[in-house]
Amino acid sequence: MNLAMSEPLQRLSDALDVERQALIEHDVHALIRATGAKLDALRALEAVLPVGQGERLQELAERNRANGVLLSRRRREVNWALRQLGRSEDASAYDAKGQANIMHTRRPLAVA
């Protein structure tokens, strides 16, 4: 394997590590940067396909899936918190006529 092939693979590996750490630490800004780095590395890999690196690619794909599972868990946690605050991301923003649905339900957070 030459250096041109290994560099995008290493960048992808590094981006996946940063992405996982950002998800664990709930660091949104680091997650956004890591996602950008991951997409850049994937574009570079598309330009120079790594021949003979099937095992490494499989390992990176598995790490990406694991990050996806963690991201899904974080999303469920956020949705749960929003529901507790009387908000819901699951409600559609527009109805069939293209009109915005406005939820008028309020839930007090405390009683005075």
How far apart CA 46 and CA 50 sit, in angstroms, is 9
**Confidence band of 84 (pLDDT split at 50, 70, 90):** confident
Alpha-helical runs (H) found in 25-103: 28-47, 54-84
Domain spans in the chain, listed from the N-terminal domain onward: 3-84
How far apart CA 14 and CA 24 sit, in angstroms, is 16
Q: Is 111 helix (H, G, I), strand (E, B) or coil?
A: coil
pLDDT, mean of residues 79-91: 77
How far apart CA 111 and CA 1 sit, in angstroms, is 66
Nearest alpha carbon to residue 20 among 63, 72, 77: 63
Tens digit of pLDDT for each residue in 19-64? 999 999 999 999 999 999 999 999 999 888 888 888 999 999 999 9
pTM above 0.85, yes or no: no
